[in-house]
Amino acid sequence: MFLLLFLLIPILSALLLLFIKKEQTANTIAIGAGLLTLLGAVHIIINKTGSFDAAWLPMLNSRFLLQADGLAKILILLTAISFPAIFIATSNNQPKQKNVFLSLMLLTQAGLMGVFLAGDALLFYFFWELALIPVYFLCSIWGGEKRIAVTFKFFIYTFLGSLFMLIGIILLYSNTSDHSFLIDSLKHANLNTAQSATAFALFLVAFAIKMPIFPFHTWQPDAYEQSPTAVTMVLSAVMVKMGLYGIIRWLLPLFPAAAIAHENIVVILSVIGILYASFIAIRQDDVKRLIAYSSIAHIGLMNAALFTQNQIGTQGALIQLFSHGVNVLGLWIVADVIEQQTGTRSMKALGGLAKKQPTLAILLVGFAFANIALPLTNAFVGEFLMFNSLFQFNPWIAAIAGVSVVLAAIYTLNMVQKVAYGEVSAATNLMQAPNKKAQGVLIVLLVIVFFTGVYPQPLFDITADTLQQLFVK
């Protein structure tokens, strides 16, 4: 029953927000709802909670089943941290009709929570789509200049992907003995090898588009660039995790044989994506695009590690799900503060941030280190484990993928250098008093970065049961 709150709190406050025209009140409600969900997330992590199960569609034997295991918990925690952080950090931004904006954001949150909690494939599909629709409106209404075409591409891309997944779900469902969408029944569906490979491909396309992995990534940099920054934060910190989540929760357990048969090609595609994105990131001048490409590289690494299908790699990916979210969120918030105050995202026009706003510059450097996965930061733990697993999988692939660490250092440090150091540029000179709220959020996030970097055990503990399910037969 408790799990239902993760859907009800955002949805009800989203509906409430539609009637609150006053910006200040709307902000408070959104932040309040976000913090309430965060409390709930902390609660389910500390205490063991049951699942919520109700009949939904007796005709199809689909159930409204919500469950929270380690994988779900860590992503719920990430979602629950991200939304209030975004609300607080961007509370000074003034989009038109802010109450509607916040309302759609909360609906997105509800969709995400549903995706992470659903234990029934049809319900999962339902939430998968529901998370997308508010984002479509958020980007198209409040986005940048080319927003409509870009968002439309994004929408059609992911919609098509999820339709493929729907066919995969139907294919599995029609071959279950008890005609049910529950994950345990789907695991025992009677598919022959060819059918299983087809269903595997159908699911994989949906998840690959969402993450995205090469060559399905073309929607992403444009979408990140054109979306309002608050939405970009959601997209890159939480939403891409839907794809990885789908792989861990659905793809690998449902098609173990097909996954092993195709692991090489997926890993190779991921590694190509990592290098490709890293090289492009080096050439970027726009801070937002740089972070977008760097994010593709990181997600590619997680996907590669998952498909090595050994315990270390999966463990690394599981905690990196959380760490990457926190890091990238921090980078986006810094980028947003800079853009709000200077009006530009071009690195050529920026410079001298350290002289103008030293605190923000220090915070930027902190998150930049986390982005390179320097030791002591949270990303180090995950990336170390993931490279380890890649090495066990194939040393050559690990060596090639390892180049991306160097490349990450190049583009990230280059960005830090251009933005934070050098002479104070004209644009940077425009910066007024520091944005206290955003800095507060950044400090909290940075504490998380270093705390989980030095002492990652809590994250291991949360995800222990998922790992056990996956690897102890």
Partner 1 sequence: MNAIIISALLGVIMMFCSWGIASAKTQRNIGLLGMLVLIGANFAELSGLWTLQFDTKGMLSFNVIGLYANMILFVLTFVYLWINGEEIGKIGDHSADYYAIFFFILCGASVLTSFDNLLMLFIGIEILSIPLYILTGADKKNLFSNEASLKYFLMGSFSTGILLLGITFIYGATGSFHLTAPVINPSTKMPVEHFLMSAGLILLFVSMNFKVSAAPFHFWTPDVYDGAPTVFTSFMATIVKSAGFIAFIKVFEVQRVALGYTWFIILPFVIVATLLVGNITAVFQRSVKRMLAYSSIAQAGFMLFALYGRSIFNNEAILLYIVAYSLATIGVFAILVKMKDYSFESFNGLAKKHPALAFLTTLFLFSLAGIPLTAGFFAKYLMLNALLTAGSGLWLLIVAILFAAVSVFYYFRLVQAMYFTAGEPAINEIDKKYELKLWVIAIVIIVLGLFPNLLFSYLYF
424 binds partner 1, rule: CB under 8 A: no
Q: Which of 2, 159, 421, 450 binds partner 1 (CB under 8 A)?
A: 159
CB of 269 to partner 1, least distance (A): 21
DSSP state of 61: T
Does 160 engage in binding with partner 1 (CB under 8 A)? yes
Q: Which of 91, 99, 103, 140 binds partner 1 (CB under 8 A)?
A: 140
Dihedral-angle region of residue 343 (phi above 0 means left; psi in -120 to 50 means alpha; beta otherwise): left
> One-letter amino acid identity for 154?
F
- Could you please report the per-residue DSSP string of 407-471? HHHHHHHHHHHHHHSSSPPHHHHT--S--HHHHHHHHHHHHHHHHHHH--HHHHHHHHHHHHHHH
Whole-angstrom Cα distance, residue 36 to residue 6? Answer: 9
Cβ atoms 83, 37 nearer than 8 A = yes
Contact of 305 with 386, CB cutoff 8 Å: yes
For partner 1, the closer CB: 176 or 327: 176
- 130 belongs to the binding site for partner 1 (CB under 8 A): yes
Cβ distance to partner 1 smaller for residue 164 or 450: 164
Does residue 166 interact with partner 1 by CB under 8 A?
A: yes
Residue 448 CA to residue 155 CA, distance in Å, equals 33
Identify any residues that bridge with 57 across adjacent strands, giving them in sequence order: 62
> What is the largest distance, in Å, between two alpha-carbon atoms of the chain?
70
Task: Provide, rounded to whole angstroms, the least separation between the CB of residue 438 and partner 1.
Answer: 28
Indicate the residue among 198 and 414 with the shorter CB distance to partner 1.
198
Which one of 4, 148, 430, 464 is in contact with partner 1 (CB under 8 A)? 148
- Closest approach of Cβ 151 to partner 1, in Å? 9
Judged by DSSP in three states, 55 sits in: strand
Q: How far is the CB of 163 from partner 1 (least distance, A)?
A: 4
Q: How far is CA 449 from CA 45, 78, 292, 323, 369, in A?
A: 19, 13, 20, 7, 10
Q: Rule CB under 8 A: say whether 164 interacts with partner 1.
A: yes
Residue 342's Cβ-count burial label (10 Å; 0-12, 13-18, 19+) is: buried
4 binds partner 1 (CB under 8 A): no
Q: Is 141 in the site for partner 1 (CB under 8 A)?
A: yes
Contacting range for partner 1; rule: CB under 8 A; set: 155-163, 285-293, 417-425, 450-458: 155-163
Instruction: Confirm or reject binding of residue 145 to partner 1 (CB under 8 A).
Output: no
| C-alpha to C-alpha distances, 193 to 168, 179, 189, 261, nearest whole angstrom | 14, 20, 12, 10
Q: Is 197 in the site for partner 1 (CB under 8 A)?
A: no
Q: Minimum CB separation from partner 1 for residue 57, in Å?
A: 6
Q: Which of 52, 116, 154, 155 binds partner 1 (CB under 8 A)?
A: 155
Tokens of 422: 């050098």
Binder among 36, 170, 261, 347 for partner 1 (CB under 8 A): 170
Tell me the closest approach of the beta carbon of residue 142 to partner 1, in angstroms: 10
State yes or no: residue 23 binds partner 1 (CB under 8 A): no
Does 167 help bind partner 1 (rule: CB under 8 A)? yes
**Crossing angle for the helix pair 358-372 and 436-454, nearest 10 degrees?**
30
Question: What's the min distance (Å) between Cβ of 147 and partner 1?
Answer: 8
Nearer to partner 1, 112 or 407 (CB): 112
Give the binding-site size for partner 1 (rule: CB under 8 A): 28
3-state SS assignment for residue 118: strand
The only residue of 36, 171, 400, 413 in contact with partner 1, by rule CB under 8 A: 171
**x/- string (CB under 8 A) for partner 1, residues 79-118?**
----------------------------------------
Closest CA to 135 of 208, 214, 230, 246: 230
Part of the chain binding partner 1 (CB under 8 A), chosen from 86-94, 146-154, 225-233, 449-457 = 146-154
Q: How far is the CB of 290 from partner 1 (least distance, A)?
A: 27
Rule CB under 8 A: choose which of 2, 137, 421, 460 binds partner 1: 137
Gyration radius from the chain CA atoms: 21
Contact range with partner 1 by CB under 8 A, out of 51-59, 79-87, 294-302, 452-460: 51-59
- Number of helical (H) and strand (E) elements in the chain, helices listed first: 23, 2
Q: What is the DSSP string of 329-345?
A: HHHHHHHHHHHHHHS--
Q: Token match 């799990």: residue?
A: 3
The footprint of partner 1 (CB under 8 A) covers 56-59, 125-126, 129-130, 133, 137, 140-141, 147-148, 152, 155-156, 159-160, 163-164, 166-167, 170-171, 173-174, 198
